[in-house]
Structure 1
């Protein structure tokens, strides 16, 4: 599902006629509801182009991974690459108001049913893996907008809160374990006040003093007070909003003069490497959300490995409520999930989702 015309007819002027903010798109989800076409090599910056690794496993040595594990006859430990194994981080937060569905997963209780992905420990691990994958895609960065010393920042649909935690409010113990880039970011924005909002309260219970987590619905009228934001960030929220245009409208209305909105998203189309409309005041950068370790670039290879792992572990949680609402039986969903996992392991498939 790609969202159409998200910024069309959105005013960016105050009463004086001066622009109150700028917009920054990461990715191509503003192209409308037309069928997505595969990105061309010329769509990418050179460092973003996902070139196929000539040393990657060739299709002629594919084992029966196209079959679900239960039918392939291959032991699970041999069928699943060892580097995809990952222990839970153990840092998940249990929300007392969560609702347990018939698939055993927990979902948000606040405005129950509005969002169809889980909020339990497995989903929190997936969100953190996706964050790591996103940083690899952005070459270690948390954002691309050219912001300068922001004083007030908002992260919509913050999930586990890992993005605002790393943005500028790291504790000293985290700084010691972080990359030099994160340290630089922490030093760049120590005075910044950061707010993260989400339907689920699954963020750390005792964040640093300049970080606040709020349980809030971004599609409802915003009530953050008269002070505007210098930077508003939203990432992978295509599953979150019924009316993304209204959310962006509120973002611009709550943006300081000269501030930035950075919106990073994708469609759910899966395109193949084998196989734009322009909006005023918007910078758009097309990237590939690589799925699987098929890229020549070591950075994109690792990104693809992490992304595939997050999908492998959580395909059922990501699809269960959606498919149940569409009338699928649980056993049909499990069969779909098994075949989806098999495709993730198929070296003949060089897949990505457009970002």
Structure 2
């Protein structure tokens, strides 16, 4: 996949490189102590990297423990290949935090007005609908997922349901004013069919919003080429193909939405920045959080798909070590296309 061009971005979203990260004598902080790397220590070791788990993760009783020691959903076992345990829940919440930074503190971009019913697909830990329900107390919010790992006592206007979005939707006759789906490129065998169900369950004048990416690791200056980060994305796509899924499916969303019958379809390109290399303080913070989420959880994200691609557990661990070293390399200015 080709990197975005500068004109593809809104000016406020353009990820300019901090000049300090272009110095030819900068080396990876994995190779030298931060004090000798040419980059301020706080840029690579911010305080939040030392945080402990909140301990508030939800254990799903019917989860299945695999040979890597991670737990996965038991409902419709095997349909989804990422874990649902505490470490994965931390990753999902970190990506939620980075997404809010990307959207300048917002939960969504759709121009919704006083919604009464809202649906969040593949809700994960439920953090998005939790915050949406708090911001819209007069709205009834529903979050669905294969794993029941959401808080057991959500706000009164929020309901969590264990559900497979690819099955016929059964939410009753009342439709939704807003349907939200974020980072679902890994989730569905037939994503266009899910999109069509969204259309059929939307009120006239309602909105649907997808915030999604591919797993391509790109850079506008070519610094990601040949790195373990780039190779990771390639291997993830190869592993996904063995399951019949396309991790670049978001490229088709605009066309599919229009084919299904949606109008006023708007596509906005953003950069899911990895690492604190941007000049913008906002994108720098987003990159720190995204890098932290990947650093901690690359093995869990990769395990099943890398096994599909022929890797042994030992090879996965060795690859993850090289991946983490590249994450800490300030000369690599990587991003995911969003």
Pair in the same fold by TM > 0.5: yes
SS of match in other structure, 1:285 = coil
Aligned-residue offset at 1:55: 2.4
1:149/1:188 contact within 8 Å kept = no
SS of match in other structure, 2:25 = helix
Q: 1:58 to 1:213 in 2, by over 3 A?
A: same
**In structure 2, how many angstroms separate the alpha carbons of the residues matched to 1:297 and 1:73?**
19
Deviations 1:58-85 (A, max 9, x none): 3423157379999999999999666522
2:26/2:38 contact within 8 Å kept = no
**In structure 2, how many angstroms separate the alpha carbons of the residues matched to 1:331 and 1:69?**
29
Instruction: Report which stretch shifted further, 145-154 or 70-79.
Output: 70-79
Q: 1:272 to 1:73 in 2, by over 3 A?
A: closer
**In structure 2, how many angstroms separate the alpha carbons of the residues matched to 1:311 and 1:126?**
8
Relative contact order, higher structure (CA 8 A, sep 6+): 1
Q: 1:66 to 1:273 in 2, by over 3 A?
A: farther
Choose the corresponding residue for 2:70, options 105, 123, 133. Answer: 105
Residue of structure 1 equivalent to 2:253? none
Structure with greater proportional helix content: 2
**In structure 1, how many angstroms separate the alpha carbons of the residues matched to 2:43 and 2:328?**
11
Aligned-residue offset at 1:126: 0.5
Deviations 1:313-347 (A, max 9, x none): 00000000111123211001111111110110011
Aligned-residue offset at 1:210: 1.1
Unaligned runs of 5+ in 1: 1-35, 168-185
Aligned-residue offset at 1:206: 1.4
Count of equivalent residues: 300
Deviations 1:209-261 (A, max 9, x none): 21100000001111111110000000000111111000000000000000000
SS of match in other structure, 1:163 = helix
1:95/1:201 contact within 8 Å kept = yes
Q: 1:233 to 1:75 in 2, by over 3 A?
A: closer
1:234/1:264 contact within 8 Å kept = yes
Q: 1:117 to 1:187 in 2, by over 3 A?
A: closer
SS of match in other structure, 1:290 = strand
Q: 1:70 to 1:90 in 2, by over 3 A?
A: farther
Q: TM-score w.r.t. structure 2 length?
A: 0.82
Q: 1:68 to 1:266 in 2, by over 3 A?
A: farther
Q: 1:40 to 1:71 in 2, by over 3 A?
A: closer
Aligned-residue offset at 1:191: 1.1
**In structure 1, how many angstroms separate the alpha carbons of the residues matched to 2:36 and 2:322?**
10
1:65/1:342 contact within 8 Å kept = yes
Q: TM-score w.r.t. structure 1 length?
A: 0.78
Aligned-residue offset at 1:104: 0.6
Residue of structure 1 equivalent to 2:36? 71
Q: 1:66 to 1:152 in 2, by over 3 A?
A: same
